[in-house]
């Protein structure tokens, strides 16, 4: 199917004007409706906006490709709009969008919208093509430009043949959504390879499945494999080959550099059994990045349980406070009324899944699906700890090897802490993943007829046995001691008055890379503190205990640090307008809303455009806000929510003061330090 077949003349607007993203999307839907391909416009409109909530379709370079697959679509179609003055669209590069294509696809199995997306994405990678469309003087000229470009592209595909001695470079591109960036990276690599005289084949792993898949013969003959991906791709097939791993964005923006390295063989040899080796100068590969990637896999799956369960528990505390049990509830605080007990029970169950899910998906990231069962089991052992031996009938009557198990795999009635918790869950996840990898290697020589029982019998049975031994005999007791020490340290910090320093540090960390590794490290620390507080209260500590309070104070400073940057930037746009361009100033309302909602990422476009001037301002403002929040003793029992969970904040008025002070400091510093916009 050709793009021209889907694009009706009445669904094209060349001189569009729009105030914002919502406005332009509504106009695009109306353009699509003119083609007669939409059975229910309202349903289709809701689908378009729902897709946009999953992640922006503004792919950068002034281009947006919104799309929707819906039963409200009678036949596949396209609508196009050119906005000469640009419209703010929350694009990935923060720049205004000048040309939009809206895709309508019926809810069928053929996924026609994905095929059209791949075509559009690759054509739009050609700047001369997009500029020609933007400057088209008529609808007929607009359609003719598309016809010529698509025909040229199709002709190029038809004449492409495999070289007799194989391709010099093979590549794989993939992004988390599997749509635009996957194909844009492939197009960029293919174009640059043609310019440099390099033969290349690119496998795209989009949401419609893998296309142009690399064959074993091609892999064997290739000099280097280039993997430009932000999501997991099958890597075992590249065992023994030189492999460059990088972000999918690098495939778009650094194609020449990557191809030059690939032709020179400037890459480490990949060994499937050991995982990717560290690559000098690579932003994607390397031991530290690999560990971070696996950890973030666990954290991203864990967060919904933390946020939902954490807010439920916070509401339980709020209910008891309203009912007058704030000072008298003691260790029963949160369960002093039937309603609060319900919230605490349900929220506690959700929070109880936090560590197993964390461990399970760390293991999944390392060893794929076989790692899940082993990882979940390790996480459950970490969160539950070793059982109390006094609860068993044999507790006082064991000898020999049985006594050894009783003494080391269990604990006495008054024994030490063996709940390794959040830290234990991280350890269990990595252990589980690498245990399964070792099992895969150990049983790789079994007959092919036994392949079916490996993931269902051998890996889970032996993996669960090994992780259970390691957690019960070694890591639970050891990390339990560390957790006890952490609790004592938090008490000491709170008693010594150093909790303010902690607030300063974690608040500033939230505002350095706004959603990057440093920001996530601080946030993961905060959720770990909440887990620690819940565990201490489960063991009988009161909510007023200094160590418990220190956990909640740390979480309050972390959320404070995340709320300051977008609000500070919004204030700066209002009071220092000369420092920002029109597109930046138009985002002040959205930044204010994101700041209020604890979405730090609203500050990313500003930091990316001018990091040397913006990041120091956000860092100082967020650090001061975190410091003040801790100084005032503000506490937070919920891991997310921004202003929507302020009712659960201890000393809420002082918390708001800290927030405003930090935001004003950020705004004033931006007014002083940042240069005037051109």
Task: Give SS3 for 284.
Answer: coil
Q: Are 636 and 537 in contact (CB under 8 A)?
A: no
DSSP symbol at 61? T
DSSP symbol at 271? B
Task: Give SS3 for 126.
Answer: coil
CA distance 399 to 364: 39
Residue 230 lies in a domain: yes
Residue 160 confidence (pLDDT)? 46
State the total domains in the chain.
4
Task: Please tell me whether residues 422 and 294 are part of one structural domain.
Answer: yes
Q: Are 419 and 480 in contact (CB under 8 A)?
A: yes
Residue 490 lies in a domain: no
Task: Please tell me whether residues 299 and 419 are part of one structural domain.
Answer: yes
Cβ neighbours for 491, distance < 8 A, ≥ 6 positions apart: 545, 546, 547, 550
Helix or strand holding residue 87 (H, E): strand 77-87
Q: Are 66 and 25 in contact (CB under 8 A)?
A: yes
Q: Is 68 a catalytic residue?
A: no
Residue 285 confidence (pLDDT)? 44
Which of 156, 187, 208 is the last residue before a domain boundary?
156
pLDDT: is 490 or 577 the higher one? 577
Cβ atoms within 10 Å, residue 675:
9
pLDDT digits (tens, 9 = 90+) for 606-647: 876 788 889 999 999 999 999 999 999 999 887 777 887 788
Residue 12 has φ and ψ, to the nearest 5°, of -120, 130
CATH of the domain at 97: 3.40.930.10
DSSP symbol at 675? P
Task: Please tell me whether residues 348 and 432 are part of one structural domain.
Answer: yes
Domain that holds residue 298: 290-481
Task: Give SS3 for 293.
Answer: helix
Distance between start and end Cα atoms, the chain:
44
Helix or strand holding residue 203 (H, E): strand 200-206
Task: Please tell me whether residues 529 and 608 are part of one structural domain.
Answer: yes
Residue 494 lies in a domain: no
Residue 165 confidence (pLDDT)? 62
Task: Give SS3 for 24.
Answer: helix
Task: Please tell me whether residues 468 and 563 are part of one structural domain.
Answer: no
123 dihedral zone (left: phi>0; alpha: psi -120 to 50; beta): alpha
Residue 219 has φ and ψ, to the nearest 5°, of -65, -40
pLDDT: is 403 or 494 the higher one? 403
Nearest to 379, CA basis, from 301, 291, 489: 301
State the maximum Cα–Cα separation within the chain, in Å, rounded to a whole number: 93
pLDDT band at 279 (very low <50, low <70, confident <90, very high): very low
Strand partners, 68: 104
In order, the DSSP letters of 514-555 are SSSHHHHHHHHHHHHHHHHHHHHHHTT--TTSHHHHHHHHHH
Place of tokens 């690599």: 189
Task: Please tell me whether residues 405 and 526 are part of one structural domain.
Answer: no
Task: Please tell me whether residues 380 and 453 are part of one structural domain.
Answer: yes
pLDDT band at 161 (very low <50, low <70, confident <90, very high): low
Annotated catalytic residue: which of 68, 98, 113, 175?
Answer: 175
What is the model's pTM? 0.50
Q: Is 67 a catalytic residue?
A: yes
pLDDT: is 150 or 604 the higher one? 150
CATH of the domain at 263: 3.40.50.2300
Encode 440-462: b = buried (16+ Cβ within 10 Å), e = exposed: beeeeeeeeeeeeebeeebbbeb
Which of 107, 139, 156 is the last residue before a domain boundary?
156
Task: Give SS3 for 283.
Answer: coil
Which of 112, 127, 156 is the last residue before a domain boundary?
156
Handedness of CA 246, 247, 248, 251 (dihedral sign): negative
Average pLDDT over residues 14-32: 92
CA distance 614 to 590: 18
Task: Please tell me whether residues 300 and 371 are part of one structural domain.
Answer: yes
Task: Give SS3 for 118.
Answer: helix
Strand partners, 103: 67, 78
pLDDT digits (tens, 9 = 90+) for 173-216: 987 555 567 777 888 898 888 888 888 999 988 655 678 888 88
**How large a percentage of the chain has pLDDT more than 70?**
87
Task: Please tell me whether residues 459 and 573 are part of one structural domain.
Answer: no
Task: Give SS3 for 226.
Answer: strand
Residue 523 confidence (pLDDT)? 80
Q: Which two tokens stand for residue 161?
A: 């043949």
pLDDT: is 184 or 650 the higher one? 650
Task: Please tell me whether residues 92 and 167 are part of one structural domain.
Answer: no
Q: Are 67 and 105 in contact (CB under 8 A)?
A: yes
Residue 678 lies in a domain: no
Q: CA 530, 532, 536, 537: dihedral to nearest 10 degrees?
A: 20
Question: Quick check: 163 pLDDT over 90?
Answer: no
Is residue 609 classed exposed, middle or buried when 0-12, 13-18 and 19+ CB atoms within 10 A define those classes?
A: middle
Residue 137 lies in a domain: yes
pLDDT band at 109 (very low <50, low <70, confident <90, very high): low
Task: Please tell me whether residues 307 and 372 are part of one structural domain.
Answer: yes
Cβ neighbours for 140, distance < 8 A, ≥ 6 positions apart: 9
Relative orientation angle of helices 338-352 and 517-538, to the nearest 10 degrees: 130
Task: Please tell me whether residues 309 and 400 are part of one structural domain.
Answer: yes
Residue 492 lies in a domain: no
CA distance 474 to 431: 12
Residue 637 lies in a domain: yes
Residue 149 lies in a domain: yes
């Amino acid at each position: 199917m050709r793009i021209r077949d889907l694009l009706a003349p009445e669904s094209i607007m060349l001189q569009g004007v729009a105030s914002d993203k919502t406005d332009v999307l509504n106009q695009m839907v109306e353009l699509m409706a003119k083609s007669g391909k939409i059975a229910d416009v309202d349903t289709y409109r809701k689908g378009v906006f729902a897709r946009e909530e999953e992640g922006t379709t503004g792919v950068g370079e002034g281009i947006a490709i919104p799309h929707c697959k819906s039963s409200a679509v009678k036949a596949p179609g396209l609508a196009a709009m050119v906005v000469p003055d640009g419209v703010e669209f929350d694009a990935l590069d923060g720049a205004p969008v000048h040309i939009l294509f809206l895709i309508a696809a019926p809810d069928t199995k053929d996924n026609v919208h994905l095929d059209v997306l791949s075509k559009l994405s690759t054509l739009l990678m050609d700047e001369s093509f997009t500029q020609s469309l933007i400057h088209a003087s008529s609808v007929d000229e607009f359609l003719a430009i598309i016809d010529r470009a698509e025909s040229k592209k199709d002709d190029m595909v038809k004449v492409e043949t495999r070289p007799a001695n194989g391709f010099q470079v093979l590549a794989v591109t993939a992004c988390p959504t599997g749509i635009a960036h996957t194909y844009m990276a492939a197009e960029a690599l293919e174009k640059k390879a043609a310019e440099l005289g390099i033969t290349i084949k690119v496998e795209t792993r989009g949401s419609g499945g893998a296309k142009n898949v690399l064959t074993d013969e091609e892999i064997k003959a290739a000099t280097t494999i280039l993997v430009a991906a932000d999501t997991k791709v099958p890597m075992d097939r590249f065992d023994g080959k030189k492999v460059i791993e990088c972000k999918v964005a690098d495939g778009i923006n650094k194609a020449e550099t990557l191809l030059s390295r690939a032709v020179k063989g400037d890459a480490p040899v990949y060994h499937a059994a050991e995982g990717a080796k560290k690559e000098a100068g690579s932003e994607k590969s390397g031991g530290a990045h690999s560990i971070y990637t696996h950890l973030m896999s666990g954290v991203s799956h864990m967060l919904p349980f933390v946020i939902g369960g954490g807010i439920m528990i916070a509401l339980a505390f709020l209910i008891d406070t309203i009912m007058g049990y704030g000072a008298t509830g003691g260790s029963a605080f949160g369960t002093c009324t039937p309603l609060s007990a319900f919230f605490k029970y349900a929220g506690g169950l959700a929070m109880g899944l936090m560590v197993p899910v964390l461990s399970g998906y760390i293991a999944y990231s390392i060893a794929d699906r076989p790692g899940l069962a082993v990882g979940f089991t390790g996480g459950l052992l970490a969160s539950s700890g070793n059982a109390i031996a006094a609860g068993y009938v044999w507790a006082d009557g064991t000898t020999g090897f049985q006594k050894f198990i009783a003494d080391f795999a269990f604990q006495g009635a008054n024994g030490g802490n063996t709940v390794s918790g959040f830290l234990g869950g991280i350890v269990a996840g990595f252990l589980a993943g690498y245990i399964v990898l070792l099992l895969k290697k150990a049983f790789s020589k079994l007959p092919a007829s036994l392949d079916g029982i490996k993931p269902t019998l051998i890996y889970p049975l032996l993996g669960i046995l090994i992780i259970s031994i390691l957690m019960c005999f070694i890591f639970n007791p050891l990390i339990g001691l560390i957790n006890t020490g952490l609790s004592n340290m938090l008490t000491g910090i709170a008693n010594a008055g150093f909790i303010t320093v902690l607030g300063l540090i974690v608040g500033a960390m939230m505002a350095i890379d706004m959603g990057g590794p440093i920001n996530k490290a601080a946030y993961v620390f905060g959720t770990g503190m909440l887990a620690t507080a819940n565990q201490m209260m489960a063991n009988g500590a009161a909510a007023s205990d200094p160590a418990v309070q220190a956990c909640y104070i740390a979480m309050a400073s972390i959320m404070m640090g995340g709320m300051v940057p977008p609000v500070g930037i919004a204030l700066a746009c209002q009071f220092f307008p000369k420092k920002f361009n029109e597109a930046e100033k138009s985002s002040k309302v959205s930044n204010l809303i994101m700041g209020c909602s604890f979405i730090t990422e609203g500050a990313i476009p500003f930091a990316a455009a001018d990091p040397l001037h913006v990041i120091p301002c956000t860092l100082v403002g967020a650090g001061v806000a975190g410091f003040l929040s801790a100084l005032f003793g503000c506490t937070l029992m919920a891991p997310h929510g921004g202003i929507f969970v302020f009712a659960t904040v201890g000393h809420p008025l002082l918390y708001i003061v800290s927030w405003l002070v930090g935001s004003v400091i950020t705004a004033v510093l931006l007014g002083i330090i940042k240069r005037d916009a051109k």
